[in-house]
């Protein structure tokens, strides 16, 4: 009875065990991939609905700080001050150049009227050696009416004689395109002086 028996293991149970293990591994891998894809879709949806971030960079690469929007009245006042600097401050030698620079603040529809009025000023200043300077003291902006009231002092020098007087001026304005010479985009449409 000493017979030895050899058991032959069939390959089928081994193959089934490996297949079962591979199947479990595939299920876990598939579930993990679905979870990652779901997470990526949520991140993508969040990024797509989020407002874009604009970074303003200086020339050296540093980020500019967020600034509040300027008050329109202050911007209009700055534009009016620049207009007054060119239109009302001149000498006999610089009057033509100053008038030319003030044209960038005049609306194109009223430019012909402005040119004809200013030709008399340029001619009078050159013939009589007139110098004018103004000093605005109070500038009030009425946004609803599109008006600017200016109160200040005017000094006129005619052939060496000085005369001082009050400046009472009303300017009508409108918004328009911004240019290099007029970065505010404020254009004068009418001008009225009070005595």
- Kindly report, residue by residue over 122-149, the tens digit of the pLDDT: 999 989 999 999 999 999 999 999 999 9
- Residue 96: pLDDT band with limits 50, 70, 90: very high
Q: Where are the domains of the chain?
A: 11-67, 72-194
Q: What is residue 129's predicted lDDT score, i.e. its pLDDT?
A: 92
How far out from the chain centre does Cα 139 lie? 24
Alpha carbon distance 140, 122 (integer Å): 29
CATH assignment of 72-194, among 3.40.50.2020, 3.10.450.230, 2.60.120.10, 3.30.70.1070: 3.10.450.230
Alpha carbon distance 135, 152 (integer Å): 6
Neighbour tally for 157: CB within 10 Å: 15
């Amino acid at each position: 009875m000493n017979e030895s028996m050899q058991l032959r293991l069939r390959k089928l149970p081994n193959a089934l065990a490996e297949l079962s293990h591979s199947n479990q591994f595939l299920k876990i891998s598939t579930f993990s991939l679905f979870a990652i894809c779901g997470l990526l879709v949520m991140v993508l949806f969040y990024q797509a609905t989020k407002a874009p971030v604009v970074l303003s960079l200086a020339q050296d690469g540093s980020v500019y700080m967020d600034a509040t929007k300027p008050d329109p009245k202050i911007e209009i006042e700055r534009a009016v001050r620049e207009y007054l600097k060119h239109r009302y401050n001149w000498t006999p030698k610089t009057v033509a150049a100053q008038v030319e620079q003030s044209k960038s603040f005049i609306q194109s529809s009223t430019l012909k009227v402005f040119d004809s009025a200013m030709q008399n000023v340029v001619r009078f200043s050159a013939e009589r050696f007139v110098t004018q300077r103004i000093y605005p003291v109070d500038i009030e902006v009425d946004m609803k009416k599109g008006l600017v009231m200016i109160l200040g002092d005017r000094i006129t020098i005619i052939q060496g004689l000085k005369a001082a007087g009050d400046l009472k001026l009303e300017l009508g304005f409108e918004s328009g395109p911004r240019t290099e010479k007029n970065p505010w985009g404020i254009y004068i449409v009418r001008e009225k002086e009070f005595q």
